[in-house]
Structure formats: structure tokens, C-alpha cells
Chains A and B, each alone.
Chain A
Amino acid sequence: MSNLTANAKSSPKMFDAKIVSAAIQHSFEKLDPRVQVRNPVMFCVYIGSILTTLLWLRTFAVQEGESVWFVFGISAWLWFTVLFANFAEAIAEGHGKAQAASLRKSQTAVTARRIISPDKLAGQDSVTQSVSATELRLGDLVLIAAGETVPADGEVVLGIASVDESAITGESAPVVRESGGDRNAVTGGTRVISDWLIVRVTTLAGNSFLDRMIAMVEGAKRQKTPNEIALAILLATLTLVFLLVVATLLPFSIYSVETSGQGTAISLPVLIALFVCLAPTTIGALLSAIGIAGMNRLSKANVVAMSGRAVEAAGDIDVLLLDKTGTITLGNRQATRFHAADGVAEQQLAEAAHLASFADETAEGRSISILAKNRFGLRGVELEEVQPNFIPFSARTRMSGVSFGGHEIRKGATEAIESYVRGLGGFLPDNVRAAVQMIAKSGGTPLVVSRDAMVLGVIELKDIVKGGIKERFAELREMGIKTIMITGDNPLTAAAIAAEAGVDDFLAEATPEAKLALIREYQQGGRLVAMTGDGTNDAPALAQADVAVAMNSGTQAAKEAGNMVDLDSNPTKLIEIVNIGKQLLMTRGALTTFSIANDVAKYFAILPAAFASTYPALKALDLMSLASPASAILSAVIFNALIIIALVPLALRGVSYKPVGAAQLLRNNMLVYGLGGLLVPFAGIKAIDLMLSAVGLA
């Protein structure tokens, strides 16, 4: 991710004053029963709050049972429990909204110049009419000149321009967008800063990329993910179990009072307090905040996910398919060495190679000229003198070159040049053949150069593996993800690069069909496959992959096929996505464990208190030796409410993930959240009890 990102999309502090005050207000708005009913665990607490409030009002009328202050205390803290849960959700949403607001700034009303007669395109001078961006329809052509904002997502059909995409990516350096090829996609809300473009609209207003991104960070379109649904079922079950436990405790208590002949049956406020303490309120309150915060983290990492499902699936990825070019290696191969044939001076070879590459505007061609210049100080020749005739590369001949002054200079694939010189009566010298094999074996690409019937030598082209990529792959391996490099190279070259980059496997001579087949094969074996890609020919494979991250620099087709788009166009971004997916699950798991483990201490606090009058002997279970029955129950309820607030930062930040293997992770988390969850409430409840006694409320 670029360092500049942080500037463009301001990421507020966790407890930014503005967000907090808005969240507090929303906490009260969320008391609407229609909102509450969506979360079964908290809805039960909500009902409990209403009931205890009614019971509190009743204490004024009926002078028996629990004291006014005790019932008021329970009721107030139950309301706090509900409000704290609302607050957790509201603050997570607040962070999303803050992000969305900064995005929306770039989405001001845009006027588009629609081309009236698409069949008569005249470049920059096409006849246009001004319309609002919202009136554009699919397939409309619009002209965008320097300084104007792109009105909608689309494909460049004519022109080339530099575009400032910082509104979306946060990257301030402009990017080039041009018709044809893999750089033809433009995004609504970005700005053309030089030249002009004619763009075909591919997405309607309100459904653009930016809109989807805003919807995602605002959580408007957030749907529950499969694991979240399963967890919600488990939590609802636990809630139901505790409802049964508490509901049957009343008859048990009545029976105990009857047969022991002393004390009074457990009161309703105490029963409700016990239920709320036992129900998994901690995780129930934080569950939706965890989900929203996960999506926020994702958008902070500059990734747009089409669904939360894909983020969760990212945590389960077994296999990652990566395109070699641009992902593992720098975009293009570069000439690194000249291997001259026997009896040929290296400079002679370099001169011929230089001449042959003169008109070759590809990056490879340029790199040959640069190498020749660096090695022998060769400059551009006076071309007028020689009157060259450039032969461009063709797929049929598989070579290119130049003809001048009766000489034919050619460069190309070994087999192509060999058959070419044989036709002229020449041959491929043995040391050249050896050099070719050596180069191929080391992962390079040999280009043989000939002059007339004579082979001069070989140019070694090499893929340059990106710095630091090996470490990234090692990290993926630690996470349990297998990396597979996809390349059009021959197997020999592919193997060498694979070894250098440290990927686990490779697919050489890959065609779109072969990629698709590979993904299917892994999926048949039960693996979850992720793929990153940018080109149109990646689209079928992206559509097949379980997690498909399209590069924002890629084509529209690739972006449509993927279920995530990386705005930074960084193929190793998947590591961050996997991290976020795993953190999402781990945070839920850890807080569920913590929540359940808490119940043990709460039993020891509340049960002896609840039956103090019927069975004084149960006082032996009061391990914390709390001040009084009322203080014991109140302390448990207060602890239960405060722990929600205490865990909000963890819910927003997520439990940290380290790639140490599943067993180690489980052991660590069991110790921290399981054992911790068992012990913390003993200390917490005791502390609250001491404070209540100190202020004389016990």
C-alpha cells in the first residue's frame, strides 16, 4: 500500500471525538425495537431492561421484595448494557461513514459531454452536448478533456491521457489510460489531467465503482457471512439454554423455600440480572461491530470487496495463483548480457543487436539498446546514411530486425534464427547452442542475433524478480497458503524463476484454458483458490476462483469477474486480505470463548446471593466473599456491561494474527481468551464490589 494513501483517505483515530459523539447519539436511536430485534441476544437484554424498569416502578406501589434502589440499579445497568452494545456498533459504523464521506467528496455533481453522433468521431473535436452525469446511459460515448472529471465508469475507445486516480486509490502519481489493451478502464470520479479521452459508459450512475465502495464502507449493503450466521445460531442457542436455566430456577426456588421453610423465592429482578449475566452478551453486543470493523480495515487497505463472504473466504485460502509478469517479476524482461559466438567480438554482437533493436519500441528492445549503450557506449547511428528497412516482429517468422546496405540483421527465437540462417547456408555454432541452453536453464530468454548467414551470438534477456517478494511468499507459506506462478514461458524458464522467487509451484506455457483447468482441479480436490489478475484473458479464471482480486489498473472485464478490486494494484495485497479475513473470524471466536468463560465467575457471584435467605449454606460458594447479596448481584451486572465497552477497541482492531500454525494459534488464544475469560471476571466483580462498598451502596 502506498504511503500516500493515508493522506487521501483520512483514517480517523479509533476514538475520534466527532465519531464518538455521533456514536453516542446513534446508541440511543438504536433503542428502536425494530433495530434491536435483529440481534436475538441483545433483544433479550432489551426485554429484560424494559421488564426491570416496570418492576422498579412497581416497587413504589408495592412495599415488599427488593428495595427501590436495588431494582433501579439493576434496571439502569441493563439499559447501559443495551446502550453499550449499540455504541459498539455505532462507532464501527461511524468509522465507515467517515471513510465514505471523504470518498463522497469526490462524487460531486459532474457534467458530462456526451457525443451526439457516435458514428462520426472526430477525436477532440467531436460534436458534444452537455448533460448531467446522472443522465448518462449504458453505451453512451463521452468526451473528457484535460481538467475534467470522468463522469462514469467506462472503457476508453479513443485517445490517451494521464488520469489522476487519487480520489480512489490515494496514489497521487497519475496513471496512463488509453484505448485498447489492458489499460482502457477509467473510473468515475477520477480526473483527466492531460490530453483527452473518448469513453464508452459501462456503468450507470448510482451503481458505479465509487458507489459500491461507499455502500460497502457504510455497511449499507452488509450481509451476514456464513460463519457469522452459524455463530449467531450458536449464540441464540446458548441464550435459549440460559433462558431455560433461569426460567426453571424460579420453580426450583419456590420448591426450596417450601421444603426448607425459610427465606423467600428468588425475585424477578435477580432472575433477569442472572439471565443477562449468563447470556453471551459480550460477543452478542460486539458481533456486528466486529463485522463492520473488518470491512473498514479492508477498505483502509484500499481493497473493495463485492461481498463480506469473499473476505471471510480469503481467510480459508489454500492456493494462490499469481501471474508472473508484473506480479512476481518487474513488468518486462531486460537484456542483461551478450554472449558472442566463437570468433565474434562482443562489441560486434552488441552493435548488430543495437541496430536490430533500433526500431523496437518494446521494453525488451529498449533494454537491449540500453545494455549496448552501457557496455560499449553505442549511440544512435546516422540512419539517413544507411537507409534502413526495419522488419517488425511477426508471430509467423518469430523474429525482427533491420536490412540496410545489403546486410540482413535479425534477432529472434533460437529455432527461428537457426532455420533462417540454414536457409542462407549458415549454421548455429556449438557455443551459441550451449549459451542458449545455459540461459534457458537459468530462467532467462535467449535471443539469437544473426547477420546474413552468420550467427553472431545470443542476447540474454532476464526476468527481474521484485525485491522482497520471496519474503512475502514465505509469509504466505507460513499461513498455509501454497503459491503458484502462472506464466507463458517454457517450463525450463518458469522453473528457474519459480525457484528464484520462492513460489511453491508453477504453471508454464499457460493459456486461459490451462489456468481455468488448474483452478478447477484444485477446487475438485477441495481446495479454496485465490487468484490475482488484471488482463481480460484472466477474466474466466478470476470468475472461477473462490477469491478473485482484480487489479484496479486492469481491464473492466477483469474487475467485473473478480470479487475484490485492489485499488493499489498490488498483487501481494492478498496477504493483507487473508490477514483481515482471519482476524475477522478470530475476533469472533476469541470473544465468544471469553464471553462463555465469564459465566463461571458470575454463577459464583450471583447464586449464593440469590439463595442467601433460603440456603445460607450456599455462602460457601461465594469465592469472592462479596459484601452483600445485593452488591454481589449488582457487581456482576455492572461488570457484564463494562466489559462490553472495555472490549470495543479489540473488536474494532481485531485480534492480531500471526502465521504460526493452527495448533499454536489455538493454544495461545485459548490461554488468553479462555483462561483469561475465566479469571478476569473474578477480579473485576470483586473490584466493583469493593467500590460499591466504598461509596456505601453495598
Chain B
Amino acid sequence: MISNFLQLLIYFSVLLVCVKPLGLYMAKVYGDKKPTWLGPFMRVERWCYRLCGIDDKVEMHWKTYATAVLSFSLVSFLSVYAIQRLQGWLPLNPESLTGVSPDSSFNTAVSFVTNTNWQGYGGESTMSYLTQMLALCVQNFVSAGVGMAVLIALIRGFARKNSTTIGNFWIDLTRGTVYILLPLSLVLSIVLVSQGVVQTLSSYQAVTLIEPTSDNTGQPVLTQKIAVGPAASQIAIKQLGTNGGGFFNVNSAHPLENPTPFSNFVQMLSILLIPAALCYTFGELVGDRRQGWTILAAMSVILLPLVVAVCLAEQAGSPAFESLGVDQLASVSQSGGNMEGKETRFGIVNSALWAVVTTAASNGSVNSMHDSFSPLGGLIPMWLMQLGEVVFGGVGSGLYGMLVFALVAVFIAGLMVGRTPEYLGKKIGAFEIKMAAIVILLPCGSVLLGTACAVLSAQGKATVFNPGPHGFSEVLYAFSSASNNNGSAFAGLGANTPFYNGILGIAMLIGRFGVILPVLGIAGSLAAKKAIPVGPGTLPTHTPLFVVLLVTVVIVIGALSFFPALALGPIVEHLMLQSHMLQSNR
């Protein structure tokens, strides 16, 4: 047990140490004055502008900014769709994979453009190297860049006063990609290659099996084809950009995608790295670092107990194994607990931590199968997504979502102290609340209505492989993941059907743009307001009390919206499992 907590402690300490330097660096990148040592990057940045004909002096109104985001995403979507459909005729396709089906192409294009990385397909059997690199990997960068750009626009809304503009989308997108995502990815992919992650353009390798086996017709099988490819470069950004889309089908459980405990550690670190550091950037850019630390504290206060809870739930093992006589006790030779669907090289803690970290941040990659977690162990990752991906969340998107919750928290708190609510010197009025309402309502509605459609329709029910509470959890998990742009999959649900490809695609679009547009609206409205100086009647928003308030608002809204649905899925499954165990013990 002690070693379990030690692993958690090391992880969070290293993460915390990285927050300040990276946060400060990102504040400089998006700020007005850049230090001279960034010279080489600045040259690349200027080339980009010259290449695309961008005037970097122009500032945008929020509606212009939103139009730029939408049009960029539309072009991205069309290109990803086209590359998938046409990959059979395109180069860099050593396995001669054919074009992807229209519905799957739609789903995947939406998924990568919205930074969701929900995968209805299996990477090595569907996508050519060109598609992986030019379509998916590129989107891993720019969809993360878009999220950060929208966040920076919102931060400008707080920082500016009496301003009609909130920055220039093209500049923000370019800077996020050139200064932050590219260099970090380069370093990380080299580290990953050192651990054994593949990076090659050669075709899949056939190897002779050490232990020959036979197929189901009884024919002996002597060789196996090992899928390879340009994986390391894509995996680095998949984690850093909280995308999560695996190069291979089993994602980070694959030995060539995540070979060692160390590669596992650096990948987990890179998942929360930018979302955590952006909190600092936020504090720096609004001129009060305490505000950034407060948000980070609120995120951590939600995350840490949930990490521990999943660890405990999984370490406790499964009552079902008990009756089978499986040894679930931890010892020197094994981690014990519920190891179904988990990799022995990661054990309980690193599987549980990974599950929580990837669902807290909207990463969605997996190194173990969440479907095989205990009911409560599976409930927590699902609920973290349902909270709206604001506990760290996606790069940029997590923090802008959390700031919207902060507005709601400040609004209720402001009323309770008898003053028109204000946050960071900006008065919160009807328009901001209206936009915040949309941000909360749309993903929540998308999860609930989507799940309802699926369990009502024949197509929806057809590919639920475990009917009952567990099957319900699988469907609910899928819609929670898609609607909140996470991309994590519970498995156990056949999602590569026209029905799920279509409806989950729509859920992803709602979850992405249904949030970005109101957030930009808030940014525009806040930027136009004057700033109110802090007085004794002002509610301080950098105190432990505010952390408690913010955490309460996030949890209460999340709990009230999803308690009935969760009760019919993981909660009842857990209760039934417990009572089943009681009966069998009797």
C-alpha cells in the first residue's frame, strides 16, 4: 500500500514542479513582449504568417475570432475526411489499406478536429501511414492549438478593459503550435523512442513465433505480423495535446506504444503537464498568480481523492474472482487486486492513475481496459468526463470550462454576500450567465439525450455486448466521452456502426463548438467591460474558501445531472455485486 501512495506522490510532485516554469514560458509566448532568446521560434512564426498571408497586426472582435475558429475547423474536417476516403490511392501505404467507410471517416474526422480522439476504428488495420501522419497527427497539434487559443482569448477578456477585440486567432494558433506543442513533442518523442516506441516508415514486420500456436481451423501458425509505423512522433503529441487517439488499436496498452513503466510515467506526466501549467499562465496573464494557483488547487482537490478511490477500488479486487479462487493479494511478485484487463508491467496504481488522469484531462487514451474495472472504479472515470472535462481537462478547453464554472460559482457567491457578482474585476451579468448556461447545458444534454436514443433504438442496442447495468454503463460512457470531447472508450460496445459513428460524431461537435462559441462570447463581453478595483466588499477569489465553493459547484452540478443515470449503471451494478457476494458467502 505504501508503495502505491509513494508512486502517486512522486507523480504529483514532479507535475507540480513543472507547473511554474512551463506556465511562465507559455505566458511569455502569448504575451505581448517576447524574450530575445526565442529568436529562432520567432523566425518560424514569421515564416508561417508570410506563407499564409496573415497580417499579425490585426486584432479580432469575438465574432470574427469565432468565425476563424469555425472555418479553420471546417477545413480541417474536410481534409481529414478526404485523406481517409482517398488513402487507397495515396502514397505511404505499405499495407495497401483501402479507403475508410464514409460513416467511420466522418466520425474520425470530427473526432480528431474536436480534440476528442474517439476511435471507432483500429489504427493498424485501418489507417495508412499517410493518414496517420498527415490527417490525424496534424490534427493532434492544431486541435490542441485551437483549444489553447480559445483559452487565451478568454483570458484576454479578463485582462483587457474597454476593448472590442480579444486577439488574433491565427497568431494564437500559430504560437501555441510553434512555441509550445512542437518543441515539447520533439523532446518527448525522442524520450519515447529511447524506451522502445517504434518510429519507422517501413511495412509491418513478420516475425517467427518462439512458441508456435494454431488457428481455429487447427492449422499451425508459425509467424506473426507485427504492426509498426511512425508511432513515437504521434504518441508524443497525443499525450501532450490531450488527444489520446492511439496509433495502435489497444492504445497505450500496446507494448510498442507504451513499452516500459518509465515511458508510462512520462506519458502520464505529459498528459496533465500543459493543462496544469496553463493555470499558472492564466494567473500570470491576468496579473494575479494566486488566481491561477486557486484554480489548480480546485482541480487537484477533485482529482486526488478520485485517484485514491480508484486505486482502492481496484486493489480491493473483484468478488467474482474470489469464487474462482484467484489470488488477489498484493505480494512481491504481483500487484494483486483486480488485474483483469490490466497490463502486468503497469499494475494497479499505474493503471488506476492512468484511467483517472486520462479522463480528468480530456485525453482518453487507455493503458488498461476500463470495461474490466470494478463498478466503482469504472464509475469515477465516467463521472470525471461528465463533470464537463474541467478537472484539468483538455489543453485550453479544460481551463476555459473551469473558468465558466468559476463564473457560476462567483455568481452564486456574489449574491450570497450581497454584491453584484464580479470575477477578476469584471462584473458578471445576464449575458455571461446565459453563455455559461449554454456551456453547462449542451454537453450534459448531449450525454443524456444521446444515451436515451441509443438505449431506445434497435441499432443502438444491437451492439451492446453486455446487456444490463454494465451494458448501460458502456453506452453512457461512450456518450459521456464523446460529448465532453474526451475520447476514452469503455469498450464492450461495438461503436463502429453507422448509428454510433453518426450520433457520437454529432455529440462531439456539440461538445466542442457548443462550448467554444459561448466561451468566446463571454471573452468578448468581458473584454468590453471596465475593470472594477478590489475593495473590502469584493469577494476574494484566491482563498481556500473559494476553492471549496468552486469544487462544490462543479461537483454538485455534475452529481445532480448524472446521479440517476449513474444509479442505473455502475451504482446498481456495484450494489448487486455486493449483495451477490453476501448471498454466496451465506
List residues of A whose CB falls within 8 A of some B CB.
Answer: 226-227, 229-231, 233-234, 236-237, 240-242, 244-249, 251-256, 258-260, 278, 312-313, 315-316, 318, 477-482, 525-527, 581-586, 588-590, 592-593, 596-597, 599-600, 603, 607, 611, 615, 617-618, 620-621, 657, 661-663, 665-667, 669-670, 673-674
Contact = CB atoms under 8 A, between A and B. Distances in A.
B415 A312 contact: no
Given A230-B428, A603-B564, A244 B449 contact: yes
Interface string B390-428: 000000000000000000100111111111110001001
Interface string B449-472: 101100110000100000111011
Contacts of B571: 618, 621
Interface stretch (B200-208, B280-288, B535-543): B535-543
| 3 nearest A-B pairs in the assembled complex, by CB-CB distance | A589-B415, A582-B418, A480-B537
Interface string B465-487: 00111011000000000000000
A260 B531 CA distance: 58
B577 to A, nearest CB: 9
A599 B560 contact: yes
B563 A237 contact: no
Interface stretch (B101-109, B215-223, B235-243, B437-445): B437-445
Contacts of A607: 563-564, 567
Nearest to B569: A252
Contacts of B420: 226-227, 312-313, 315-316, 585
Contact of B418 (A246, A252, A581, A603): A581
B451 A241 contact: no
A68 B45 CA distance: 73
Contact of B564 (A252, A258, A318, A586): A252
A589 B416 contact: yes
Interface of B is mostly: helix
Contacts of B537: 316, 318, 479-481, 662
Contacts of A667: 545
Interface in B534-573: 535-540, 543, 545, 548-549, 552, 556-557, 559-565, 567-568, 571-572
A663 B579 CA distance: 46
B170 to A, nearest CB: 32
Contacts of B552: 674
A262 to B, nearest CB: 11
Contacts of B549: 666, 670
A278 B562 CA distance: 13
B576 interface: yes
A592 B441 contact: no
Chain B CB count within 10 A is highest, among A241, A249, A525, A527, for: A241
Nearest to B428: A230
B366 to A, nearest CB: 25
Given A252-B568, A526-B530, A665-B418, A589 B412 contact: yes
B455 A252 contact: yes
Contacts of A663: 539-540, 543, 545
A270 to B, nearest CB: 12
Contact of A256 (B452, B530, B568): B568
A255 B429 contact: no
A527 B411 contact: no
Nearest to B531: A526
A234 B437 contact: yes
Contacts of A585: 414-415, 418-420
B451 A669 contact: no
Chain A CB count within 10 A is highest, among B417, B437, B455, for: B417
Interface of B: 408, 411-421, 425, 428-430, 432-434, 437, 440-441, 444-445, 448-449, 451-452, 455-456, 461, 467-469, 471-472, 530-533, 535-540, 543, 545, 548-549, 552, 556-557, 559-565, 567-568, 571-572, 575-576, 578-579
Nearest to B574: A617
A312 B429 CA distance: 13
A526 B419 contact: no
A504 B268 CA distance: 55
A229 B414 CA distance: 15
Contacts of B578: 617
Contacts of B561: 241, 244-245
Nearest to A672: B416
B415 A592 contact: yes
B429 A230 contact: yes
A387 B408 CA distance: 80
Nearest to B530: A526
A233 B444 CA distance: 17
Contacts of B472: 252, 255-256, 259
Contact of B533 (A253, A312, A525, A584): A525
Contacts of B557: 241
Contacts of B456: 251, 254-255
Contacts of A599: 560
Contacts of B415: 227, 231, 585-586, 588-590, 592
A657 B419 CA distance: 11
B483 to A, nearest CB: 12
A259 B455 CA distance: 11
A607 B571 CA distance: 12
A278 B166 CA distance: 38
Given A241-B444, A669-B417, A618 B468 contact: no
Contacts of B413: 589, 666
Given A241-B444, A248-B449, A665 B417 contact: yes
A240 B538 CA distance: 31
Contacts of B533: 525-527
A579 B408 CA distance: 24
B408 to A, nearest CB: 7
B470 to A, nearest CB: 10
Given A318-B535, A589-B414, A237 B441 contact: yes
Chain A CB count within 10 A is highest, among B452, B531, B537, for: B537
Contacts of B440: 237, 241
